[in-house]
Structure 1
Amino acid sequence: MPEGHVLHRLARLHQQRYAGSAVRVHSPQGRFASGASLVDGLVLDRAEAYGKHLLHVYAPDRVVHVHLGLYGKFTELPVPLEEPRGKVRMRVVGSTHGTDLRGPAACELLTEDEATTLLSRLGPDPLREDADPERGWERLTRSRSTIAALLMDQKIVSGVGNIYRAEVLFRRGIPPELPGRELDHDRWKLLWRDLVELMADGVRSGRMDTVRPEDMPEVTGREPRQDRHGGEVYVYRRAGQPCLHCSTPVATSELVGRKLYWCPTCQRG
């Protein structure tokens, strides 16, 4: 599932290409036909992201909400566009580009009040200037669940997925099984700072590099990571490989249906 930086990159791109002008919107697949007809021909006021949610805001009072889920994807195309291929849930066409949305978990038309209600349920997004990390801290410290599970809970922190979860816990030496209510406030602030910096870097580069400069391959002499996800990481998808700091084999287990990775030595707590 795409993590929050992917949605923020999409929001920036859609803001640049489509906002401020009237766009054509339709649903070749037909599953979003009624919603598309209500915004077709309107001016896109803005595109913005909150966590893993993308919003296309039209005036008056019409918001297209998209959640990509596991299989959703936008495909950007120059105009003139060819006929849609496959099951395109929504096509947006501007003056120079178009974008096709396939396979999202959600593509729906909301009012502004409905969109506000949706976002109010989410935790703070490290990529938004209006984020209040204390809201996440308050929710986290009321829970007996593990910090590893809580970081994947979008009501605690919005936009964090499996990769950033594993990597920030390693970077701060936090054992994944630590109950959320036992995490002290200073470590929470450091963890939050890492999320802000790493995810912002992901927006800029399109990669998920979580390794500090001194641990990069060009400094240590190790081979660069070979993985379809790209980016240099400490523990994610490195089960059984030596930890970059202590050489202990990286451990893995399943938590809430997702793979968890950590170093048993560096993350003793």
Structure 2
Amino acid sequence: MPEGHSVHRIARQFDANFVGKRIAVSSPQGRFAAGAAELDGRTLNRVFAVGKQMFAEFDGDRWLRVHLGLYGAWDFAGRILTDPTIASAQGRMGQTNQRGTQLPEPTDVGGEDSVSSIGAPRVSRLRMSEQTRALDAAGESFPPVPVGQVRARLLTDEQLADLRGPTACVVTDGAGVQAVIDRLGPDPLHDDGPRAQEAFVAAVRRRRTAIALLLMDQSVVSGIGNVYRAELLFRARLNPHTPGRALSEDTAAALWQDWSRLLRIGVETGQMMTMDGLSPEENRRAMATLADRHWVYKREGLPCRVCGTNIVLEELGARKLYWCPSCQR
């Protein structure tokens, strides 16, 4: 499932390319036809993310709320300008993906930092990108024909965004947006003030629930998924089964602050980079390869990078949990 950094990058991509423009909205798949009709022809005023939810405001108090879930992804095509506030790992600031111009391949061999398709990786996304490039190279007209099950298509004269496989794709109003936000825990990029940290610390310390479960509870904190959960707990040297109420205020506050740092790194680079203290060569490898980017995530059975103990994989709350039983006693 795309974690919080990806959704913030998507929102910024929309802000850089679609905000202020009249948008043609359709549902090639047909499942969002009624919602698309409500939004079609309206101007997009702003887009922002809170955790794993994205909110797009159109004229007339019409909002599009999208939660990608496990399988959702946005594919972008046309004249796509990268968000100039994001320091891309490849330095792609200001470059465009338009007919005759292709973005360079991402340094990350897994494509996590891609600007053409953001969300759950799957073959259809790759096929979409290949089809778009083929059409552009052949000089065919824009926009390309929808490929696969496109729930919603947002289109301007020069930009295209196709949404596939989301958990939620609904039209609502401002009150509905606020109601969703009110149910979510704090997000450091939506509110990084002292009250956000205090809310997180209080929510954690009043619960008997294991901290590993609390970090995945979007009502406690927004945006953390399986990768960031495992890495945050290792970086804090916390046993994932520790009850939230057993954490000191300082420990809980440090978790929030570390999440804030890692989230910003993820947005800036497009990658869930969770290791620090690396040499230049180690950093280059980590930015290029997932296997070199994390302390414990997906390293079950391999020796801990710190103590040499084999990393453990267990199931907790129907999700995979990776941790070091020695460093995280």
Given the two structures, how large is their TM-score scaled by the length of structure 2?
0.77
Q: Distance in 1 between matches of 2:172 and 2:190?
A: 21
Helix, strand or coil at the partner of 1:88: coil
1:33 offset after TM fit, Å?
A: 0.8
Percent of aligned positions with the same letter in both sequences?
43
* Alpha carbons 2:287, 2:293 under 8 Å: kept: no
Q: Distance in 1 between matches of 2:307 and 2:13?
A: 41
1:96 offset after TM fit, Å?
A: 2.0
Instruction: Show CA shifts across 1:86-131 (max 9, x none).
Output: 1110000123210100100010001110110011000001222356
The residue identity in structure 2 corresponding to 1:23 is: I
Q: Distance in 1 between matches of 2:206 and 2:191?
A: 25
Q: Distance in 1 between matches of 2:156 and 2:250?
A: 47
Q: Distance in 2 between matches of 1:130 and 1:224?
A: 31
* Alpha carbons 1:9, 1:203 under 8 Å: kept: yes
Alignment-derived partner of residue 247 in structure 1 = 308
Q: Distance in 1 between matches of 2:305 and 2:291?
A: 17
Helix, strand or coil at the partner of 1:108: strand
Alignment-derived partner of residue 29 in structure 1 = 29
Alignment-derived partner of residue 170 in structure 2 = 108
Alignment-derived partner of residue 222 in structure 2 = 158
1:61 offset after TM fit, Å?
A: 1.1
> Where do 1:15-26 residues align within 5 Å?
15-26=15-26
The residue identity in structure 1 corresponding to 2:224 is: V
Instruction: Show CA shifts across 1:217-246 (max 9, x none).
Output: 8359xx946997566100000011111111
Instruction: Show CA shifts across 1:190-213 (max 9, x none).
Output: 111111111110101111110112
> Where do 1:232-243 residues align within 5 Å?
232-243=293-304
CA RMSD of aligned residues (A): 2.0
Structure scoring higher RCO (CA < 8 A, sep ≥ 6) equals 2
Q: Distance in 1 between matches of 2:292 and 2:282?
A: 15
1:146 offset after TM fit, Å?
A: 0.1
Q: In structure 1, list runs of 5 or more residues that go unmatched.
A: none
Instruction: Show CA shifts across 1:232-266 (max 9, x none).
Output: 10000001111111111111100011110111111
Q: In the alignment, is residue 121 of structure 1 matched against residue 183 of structure 2?
A: yes
Alignment-derived partner of residue 126 in structure 2 = none
Moved more, 138-147 or 227-236: 227-236
Moved more, 5-14 or 76-85: 76-85
Alignment-derived partner of residue 155 in structure 2 = 93
Q: Distance in 1 between matches of 2:39 and 2:282?
A: 52
Alignment-derived partner of residue 263 in structure 1 = 324
Change (3 A) 1:230 1:2: farther
Helix, strand or coil at the partner of 2:198: helix
Alignment-derived partner of residue 218 in structure 1 = 281
Change (3 A) 1:128 1:120: same
1:83 offset after TM fit, Å?
A: 1.5
Instruction: Show CA shifts across 1:135-169 (max 9, x none).
Output: 12222222111000100000011000011111011
1:38 offset after TM fit, Å?
A: 1.1
Q: Distance in 1 between matches of 2:2 and 2:289?
A: 14
Question: Which residue of 259, 268, 271 maps to 1:195?
Answer: 259
* Alpha carbons 1:122, 1:155 under 8 Å: kept: yes
* Alpha carbons 1:48, 1:54 under 8 Å: kept: yes
Q: Distance in 2 between matches of 1:128 and 1:210?
A: 21
Question: Which residue of 238, 243, 246 maps to 1:174?
Answer: 238
Instruction: Show CA shifts across 1:13-54 (max 9, x none).
Output: 001100011111111111111111111111100111110001
Question: Which residue of 201, 217, 225 maps to 1:137?
Answer: 201
Residue correspondences, number: 265
* Alpha carbons 2:200, 2:256 under 8 Å: kept: no
Q: Distance in 2 between matches of 1:82 and 1:36?
A: 19
* Alpha carbons 1:209, 1:233 under 8 Å: kept: yes
Q: Distance in 2 between matches of 1:48 and 1:159?
A: 13
The residue identity in structure 1 corresponding to 2:188 is: P
